[in-house]
Amino acid sequence: MFGLELLKKGVIWRVGNGKQIKIWRHAWIPKPHTLRPGRSMRSCRLKWVHQLIDAESHRWKADLIRRFFYQADVEEILNLRLPGKDEEDMIARHYEKTGIFSVRSAYHLGVARKEMEMGQVSSSSNTDGARPAWKKLWKIPVPHKVRIFA
């Protein structure tokens, strides 16, 4: 069940023509913590992503996006590359460059999620580059081969 939950958490829509993606319901914006947009800044009747795309030029309607989305979402949406021709939207795995599910990516997502729930961050994934657990390990007064084994 935990694996199924991880699979669901990492699924994202890759925007093609935007006709299958619901703006406020589906995961389609690649952000670190959530893949969905925040709530609309004002009342919005737009429902589908294709309504945010200019059909002629295949570009985002930036003024429309700025009107309804918060700035953080605006930047992410406008950075999404749209295909030059009319391609179908597709479902992919967000945490893999290839978009294909792998046990490795699910494992990393699961570990990160557990650490967030426990309020910990693994020493290897600190964004500031600090690795306190490793520093403590290398300072322990034991033979070098024991530290390497650990």
- The 10s digit of each residue's pLDDT in 89-111 is 988 877 667 777 677 777 777 77
Q: pTM for the complete prediction? A: 0.62
Phi, psi for residue 82 in degrees, rounded to 5:
-100, 145
User: Domain ranges in the chain?
Assistant: 2-93, 126-150
Write down the pLDDT at residue 22: 94
Q: How far apart are CA 94 and CA 102, in angstroms?
A: 11
Strands (E) in the chain, as ranges, are: 11-14, 53-54, 59-60, 90-93
Provide the pairing of β-strand 53-54 with 90-93: unpaired
Write down the pLDDT at residue 150: 77
Write down the pLDDT at residue 120: 57
Provide the pairing of β-strand 59-60 with 53-54: antiparallel
Phi, psi for residue 104 in degrees, rounded to 5:
-60, -50
Residues of the chain with pLDDT under 50: 127-128
